[in-house]
Each structure stands twice: as C-alpha cells, then as structure tokens.
C-alpha cells in the first residue's frame, strides 16, 4: 500500500542521496522484523530524513512538540510517522506511545542526545533511550551519522549490530547507565569508520 510516508521517502531519497553522496554501511545488521529502538547521534536537522531514507523499515520519530504547532509542517510531520514530545520534562504520553509502538513490533527512532551537537562530537545521551531499551524486548540498533552535511561531500550513515541488552535488563540497570552503554556503541561506530 502506497502511503504519504513511502511517497515522501522516495522523493527525499532522490534528492538527498546524490546531494550529500550518502554512503550507508551495516544495513545487514538491521532486524527485518520485531520492535527496534534505533538510536543515533544528532549533528544536523537533516538527520531524521537521512535516517528515514537509509533504514530498511519505516521509522516512528519523536519530535519536539513545538514543530507540530507550525501550520502545514505539523500535519506533514504527523503523516511522516512523527509524534510530539515535550522537551525538558517527563512526557508520559510520549513515553506510553513509544512503548506501545515498540511492543507492536515497530521501529522507534531516537536521538538520545536530545539536541544537535554543535561540534559534531557525540555528547551524553538522556535517559529516555535507556528507558525504552529496558522496558521492552526491542532490539537496540546503534547508528552513527558522520558529516558534516556539505553539498556533494560524503555523509556516512553506519548501522551497528543490535546491542546485547540481556545483562542490563536482567540486573535492572538504570536508564542512565543503559543510555551510556548505547552512546558508547554509537561512539565506537564513528571511531571505527575513521
């Protein structure tokens, strides 16, 4: 079935792939089914569409609530599988939705840093990624985006193998510790790419 998401994905892919010479690695690691928590570093506003066009499955993204208040753009975001989250507070409704999507076997995309890195360095992640990883049996896939985004210069998107969460889940690790483990995997992907 053709949806707005699939049409938009094709259009955006046809523009961004050649413009930024996007190179994708590790796509074979991406689980073909079941819930997936996709965690990536965040260097630019283009990260969500770039992850959306390179991942092999449709992704649901949390996006800051303010974006949904922008006329036309907010409606478009909703049609692109995004849902609002209040930043700077524990948004129970957004957390419930995220858990529900993962339990339904969908892909939830997160940028654990919560905001773009101004230096391109990978920062500390917020506890939300750990929260979702610990409260579901979703596979956690790290992703590193290596830029910067400059026209006709290569941007790399690297997917790593799912992180083994068994030990963290069994000993009931904290969300903060779990997020730190996820961020360390993202950093390693970036380091290994150099």
Closest by Cα among 177, 121, 176, 115 to 144? 121
Alpha-carbon distance 81 to 63, whole Å?
10
Which segments within 41-179 are labelled E, that is strand? 59-64, 82-85, 107-110, 139-146, 156-159
Average confidence (pLDDT) over 116-140: 90
At residue 63, the pLDDT reads: 80
Please check the confidence at residue 5 and state whether its pLDDT lies above 90.
no
| Reported confidence tier of residue 25, pLDDT bands at 50, 70, 90 | very high
**Each residue's pLDDT tens digit, 60-83:** 998 888 888 888 887 888 788 888
Q: Indicate the burial class of 139 (C-beta count within 10 angstroms; 0-12, 13-18, 19 or more).
A: buried
pLDDT, mean of residues 131-157: 96
Long-range contacts of 136-140 (CB under 8 A, 24+ apart): 136/35, 136/37, 136/99, 136/102, 136/103, 137/35, 138/34, 138/35, 138/36, 138/37, 138/102, 138/108, 139/31, 139/34, 139/35, 139/36, 139/37, 140/36, 140/37, 140/39, 140/165, 140/182
Band of residue 88 on the pLDDT scale cut at 50, 70, 90: low
Q: Nearest 5 degrees, angle CA 154-CA 19-CA 78?
A: 110
């Amino acid at each position: 079935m053709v949806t707005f998401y699939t049409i938009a994905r094709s259009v955006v892919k046809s523009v961004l792939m050649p413009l930024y010479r996007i190179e994708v690695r590790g796509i074979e690691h991406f689980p073909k089914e079941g819930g997936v928590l996709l965690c990536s570093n965040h260097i630019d506003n283009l990260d969500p569409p770039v992850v959306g066009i390179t991942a092999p499955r449709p992704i649901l993204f949390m996006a800051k609530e303010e974006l949904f208040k922008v006329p036309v753009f907010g409606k478009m975001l909703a049609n692109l599988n995004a849902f609002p989250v209040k930043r700077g507070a524990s948004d129970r409704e957004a957390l419930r939705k995220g858990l529900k999507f993962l339990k339904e076997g969908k892909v939830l995309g997160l940028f654990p840093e919560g905001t773009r890195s101004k230096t391109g360095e990978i920062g500390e992640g917020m506890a939300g990624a750990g929260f979702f990883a610990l409260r579901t049996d979703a596979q956690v896939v790290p992703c590193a985006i290596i830029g910067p985004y400059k026209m006709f210069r290569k941007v790399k998107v690297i997917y790593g193998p799912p992180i083994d969460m068994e030990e963290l889940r069994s000993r009931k690790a904290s969300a903060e510790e779990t997020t730190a483990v996820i961020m360390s995997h993202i950093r390693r992907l970036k380091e290994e790419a150099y």
